[in-house]
Each structure stands twice: as structure tokens, then as C-alpha cells.
Structure 1
Amino acid sequence: MTKWGVVATGKIADIVTSDMALVPDAEVVAVSSRSTPKAEEFARKHGIPRFYGDYHDMLADPDVEVVYVATPHSSHYIVARNALLAGKAVLCEKPITVTLKDAERLVELARKQKVFLMEAMWTRFNPLVKRVRELVAEGAVGSIRSVHADFGGPSAHDPAHWLWDPAAGGGSLLDLGVYPVSFTHMLLGAPESIAAHGTLIDGVDAEAALLLRYQNGSFAQLSSSLVGYYSKAATVVGTAGRIEIPPLFYRPTEFTVVRPDRPDEKHSLEIQGHGYHYQIAEVVKRVQAGQTESPDMPLDETLAVMRTLDEALDQLGVSYR
């Protein structure tokens, strides 16, 4: 049994903790929040035996083996760093940090400490996404020429909300755009060049459009938005066909392989819970095996994605430094 501690009690922590119950070898034994009453309420809801009003106290709990970091973006680095220094394995919500420099520091520390670290890019562990990756590698739709993906939806403008606050790591790219960027990296690798266009509100990117270009001439058109009503779909276009992933591409329950002169090939999946349990099971598997990284979301890949996001944000004029 792998014993977990959860840092933060917001919406994503609530959902992911619920899905942890679907993994037989995962047990949440502690939760922390800046508010002790909130921690207590969260613990009661999820049947967690211990709660703390300071995450440092939770890191001192000898029963906690793995820490799930679900704090706002801007505090991912410091919380994950302290957990690694305490010798705890870490699953950190995406984006792993708000800058490439901080991500590099975190990865360097994890490797130095020889402690497991993984970015919580849950999409990578969805069985259908894994199947898409396999089909592309097998050449099922030929050589990939382009990837198209978007993730966006209108969010009420509120300068007090972290999404619109640069100090909290707000903006569309880090919260939503990381999904299409990571999806593209999974299939095509790091781009040769990046061109970004967007709109800033209150110092964060309210919307962003990225064109990633590759040495062989292939490209990706990706977008994220806090103001536009996007489809949240993805298409992978090859020389011999295409793969269509309907909404929600980052949590797919189906996709279709479309090729000329052949019947469409449909794939489907029934997901238990919200779909986060696949990544929880991955962490449990790797930690129990004494491994420090996941081959499906390796740390070098996390850094490559952060490098793309960092460059795009720099072009847009967004700074979290």
C-alpha cells in the first residue's frame, strides 16, 4: 500500500482524491490546507485520518510516502521542493512550475535526492491517448504532417481570481494550453520554432494561439483561451489518414481513425470516476518499484514542454519572474 498526503483542498484536489479511492494500492492518510477547518472538512469528506493546517507538518508525517501537490500554480515549485527535500515522492499538478528555470531546479533536485517526481499530466495515462500514440508510432495514418488542438472556455473576468492574477500563475496557457502543447510534444517532440499570438488582460494571456514548426515541415496549430468558447477537440493529420479526437481530447472516451477507401476505425473507452486514477496507478507502480521517473511522463519531457510554454509566454509578453 502506498500512502499519500494531499496538499491543498480546492476543486482539483477534491476530484483527484476521489479518484484515488479507485486505485487499490493507494491510500490517502493525510491532507493539509492553509485553513485547518478546511483541512478537517476535506478529511472528513474523504475519510482521511489526519489533517494539518500547515503542509510542513504533513511533510513531517512519517506515514506519508507520496505528496500530491494541488496548490495554485505559483506555489507548485516551493511545495514540491520542500516535499522532495523531505524525501517524499511527488506528483505535482500541471504546469509543474510557472517558469522553465524553476522546473529545471526542481528536476535537478529530484535527481540529486533520487526521489520520484512526476508532473500530473493525466491525459498521458488515458488508455485511448496511449493508443493514439501507438497508432502514430506504427504509422497507421502515415507520416504526421500536423496536429490541431484547442482548449478554452469563457471564464468570468475577476481580477481577484487566480486565473487572472499573474502573481498566482494565471492565464490560459499554463492552465489550459499546457494540454495541447503536451499532447503535441507526445507525438512530434520539441518544435524547431515557435510563433505565438494572443491577448493580454491584467498581465496574463486571456487567449493564445501557437504555431509550432518542425524540421521536416510538419506543424501544430494550438490554442487556449479564457474568453472564447472552443471545441476542446484534437486532430492528428497524416499522409495516409487522420485521427479525430472529439471533445474532450484531454480526457477522451472515443476517437476515430479516418483513412481513404477504408471504413472508419472507432475506438472507445468507459472511464471510471473522472479519469485521474490512471496517473495515480502509474505513480504507485513506479514508487513501489523504486523508480524515480515515469517513462510515460519523463522529467526531460516535462522540461521540453515547459521550454515551449516559456518561449510562447515570452513572445506574448507574460512574465512570472
Structure 2
Amino acid sequence: MREIRWGIIGCGDVTEVKSGPGFQKAAHSRLVAVMRRDGARAEDYARRHGVPRWSDDAEAILGAPDIDAVYVATRPDSHADYVRRAAAAGKAVYVEKPMALDHAEGLAMIATCEAAGVPLFVAYYRRAMPYLLQVRHLLAEAAIGRVLAVRVTQFARPPAAAEIADGRLPWRLDPAFGRGGLFFETACHAIDALDFLFGPIDAVHGFAANRRGLSPAADTVAACWRFADGTLGSGTWAFAADRADEGIEVIGSDGSLTFHPFTFAPITLVRRGEVERFAIPSPAHVQQPLIQTIVDELLGLGTCPSTGRSAARTAAVVERILADSRP
């Protein structure tokens, strides 16, 4: 059986543990080359991870005849350009989330890849993790009866004073890399997980506010929505709170199910007054299960659950929430 040969554009922090080794450890998969604009760091990454080639020029990845698929792990403002160039080179594309700066840009990326006849996958890796698959299994077997509503919460402490001194901003808070700040960068994970579990959201309303004024982006967001099947949902995000906390509670006719898409703390099932917990260990490289589904699809052996199309639905929801109210 042949293998899928990968190249990485942007071998930064996310590729150190979460994703990079997964390309080498997935079955029928091999990481051939990495690129970073800082050549010394690219060389260091290649040496430490046993990657045969490195470069400071993306064309060394895009134009390589021995690379079948490209993983774009740069900041969101460059995703569309690299996806366009990879598609033009006839290579399958796996791009980090958020897939684009806005929904329209995401749709353009999808159209570009479809026109070129190459698949587009997006790194909403929770869709393939055993943790979220366990949640999906419990819901499928009606462990809490009929699902009535879903409630999302995510709180985080504000950035340290040193991070924002003298007008400097971490890139996740810089409007140049996504106008929604930490909500744009992180809340999409939970929203995408809900799309995976319950299907598309067909109506959404949101409110965004900048309560602490520590950056140009909203630090507090509230929203409510309806899934296409009629299930209702709501969420509250506060990124300048006094504590870090997160979770999703699913309320059913016969009980409730609570899970944690960021910390992966044990899933809690409550029904008929009894509590059951499911501790699901995370893979050493959390993106490896999704990478395996991509490899399998490219080899005709399966289907990847996270595509440009599914990611575009998530982008549309995030954009609608932020559009309803400006901070």
C-alpha cells in the first residue's frame, strides 16, 4: 500500500507535540519536509523531529514532487494564500483552525480547492478524538433521553500585564490576525464540536462586549442558537475573568451530560439521581487521530470528519455571533 507524504508550512509551536509527530506516527503516512520563514528554526525542528528536509521558502514544499499533501500551520491571515497555492500545485490541504479570517474567505478557499480537484481538511481535531467520540456514543444511545438544550461556558484569565505592555499584543488579540480575539481563536473549537454532535446550527444571535478594555477585541460574549433539528443552545465566554473554567452541559429529558472540550476532564453522566464518570485519555499527539482519517480518505480507506465545508459552518456561526454586537 502506498503512503501519503506530507510537508508542513509553518512548523511553530502547534506542530511540536499536538500535530507534527502525528504525521510520522499515523499509518501509511510520512513527514518529508518542513518550512518556516526563520530557516534556523526550521532546521532545528527538522533535526529534533527526524524530518529529512527543511526550508525557509514555502515553494520548497509546494513545488516538491515527492509531497502529496500540505499542512498549513501558520497564522489565520496567511491561510487563504497558502491554501490557494497548494491547490494550484495539486496537493491535498490540511489547514489549521480558524480556517480563514472570515466566512467569505473560507468559502473562497473551498471553491479554489474544488476547482483544482483537491480535498480541503481543517484541524478541528476533536472530531476524531476518543473523548468526543465517547460523548457522541452516549448521545446516540440516548443515555440522557431526548436532548433538549445545550449550554457552553468558557472563562479565562486576562493576559498578563507583561504581554500587553507598551501597546504590544499577543497575536491572538491582534485584529490583524482575526477581529474576534480569543473568542475567534478558541470558541470555534466548542462550536465545531457541537456541529459534529448535533448537526448544523440554523439560527444564532449573539452579543459581544469589551468589558476590561485590555485589547481591541471583545473579551465577553454571549449567544443563543438553534440547531436544525430544533435543539436549543446558549453560551457564555469571558476572557478576562478571575478564573479558568470551561465545559459543555447537554440537558436531556432523562438526565444530563457534561464534557470539557479543552481540558478533557472526565465526562459526567447524571441520570435517575446516579452519577457516572468516563475518564478518556487523550492521545499523546491530539491531532494524530484526525490525521489518520485524512490519510485514510486520501488512500480511499475512509472519510475525514473535518472538512472545509464543516469548518465553514463553524466560521459562519462565529461570525454571526460577533456581527450582532460590536464591542
TM-score by length of 2: 0.87
Contact 2:35 2:42 (C-alpha < 8 Å) held by counterparts: yes
Determine whether 1:240 maps to 2:254: yes
* Equivalent of residue 177 in structure 1, options 187, 193, 198: 187
CA contact (8 A) 2:151 2:250 kept: yes
Separation (CA, whole Å) in 1 of partners of 2:68 and 2:220: 38
Conservation of the 8 A alpha-carbon contact between 1:151 and 1:176: no
Deviation at 1:31, TM superposition (A): 0.6
Deviations 1:104-152 (A, max 9, x none): 0111122222212111001111122122223323322122222222344
Partner of 2:240: 227
Q: State whether structure 2 residue 221 is matched by structure 1 residue 204.
A: no
Partner of 1:282: 293
Select 1:317's aligned residue among 310, 321, 326. 326
Residue in structure 1 matched with residue 109 of structure 2 by the alignment: 106
- Alignment check: 8 A CA contact 1:176 1:224 kept: no
Identity level (%): 23
The one-letter amino acid paired with 1:8 is: G
Residue pair 2:5, 2:68 contacting (<8 A) in 1 also: yes
Contact 1:128 1:252 in 2 (8 A): yes
Deviations 1:196-219 (A, max 9, x none): 233265432233222223577642
- 1:11 corresponds in structure 2 to 13
Among candidates 75, 80, 88, match of residue 85 of structure 1: 88
1:187 is displaced (CA, Å) by 2.9
Note the C-alpha offset of 1:100.
Answer: 0.4
Whichever residue aligns with residue 308 of structure 2, its letter is L
Cα deviation code 1:186-245 (max 9, x no counterpart): 233214232223326543223322222357764222234442333122211111111121
Q: Which amino acid aligns with 1:233?
A: G
Report if the CA contact (8 A) 1:67-1:90 is conserved: yes
- 2:175 maps to 166
Corresponding letter in the other structure for 1:14:
E
CA distance in 2, matches of 1:53, 1:35: 6
Q: Cα gap change, 1:87/1:216 in structure 2, threshold over 3 Å: closer, same or farther?
A: closer
Corresponding position of 2:59: 56
- Encode CA deviations 1:62-82: one digit per residue, 9 max, x unaligned: 111111111011111111221
Q: Secondary structure at the match of 2:149?
A: strand
Provide closer, same or farther for how the CA distance between residues 218 and 266 of structure 1 changes in structure 2, counting only shifts above 3 A.
Answer: same
More deviation, 110-119/181-190: 181-190
Deviations 1:136-195 (A, max 9, x none): 233221222222223442333523421121112261122111012112222332142322
CA contact (8 A) 1:150 1:177 kept: no
Question: For this pair of structures, how many residues does the alignment match?
Answer: 313
Range moving further from structure 2, 196-205 or 59-68? 196-205
Moved more, 42-51 or 11-20: 11-20
What SS is found at the alignment partner of 2:5?
Answer: strand
Counterpart of 1:65 in structure 2 is: 68
- Specify the code of the residue in structure 2 equivalent to 1:101: A
216 and 135 in structure 1: CA distance in 2 versus 1, 3 angstrom threshold = same
Q: Distance in 2 between matches of 1:38 and 1:98?
A: 26
* 1:141 partner amino acid: I
Taking structure 1 as the reference length, the TM-score comes to 0.89
Quote the offset at 1:20 in angstroms: 3.1
Distance change (3 Å), C-alpha of 1:274 and 1:91: same
**Partner residue, 2:49:** 46
How far did residue 251 of structure 1 move?
5.8
CA distance in 2 between partners of 1:91 and 1:169 (Å): 19
Measure, in 2, the Cα distance between the counterparts of 1:23 and 1:214: 34
Structure 1: stretches of 5+ with no match in the other structure: none
Whole-Å separation in 2 of the counterparts to 1:110 and 1:11: 27
**Which residue is equivalent to 1:257?**
269
Note the C-alpha offset of 1:256.
2.5
Structure 1 residues 52 and 225, CA gap change in structure 2 (3 angstroms): farther
Name whichever of 189-198 and 208-217 sits farther off: 208-217
RMSD: 2.3
Contact 1:143 1:240 in 2 (8 A): yes
1:190 to 2:176 alignment: no
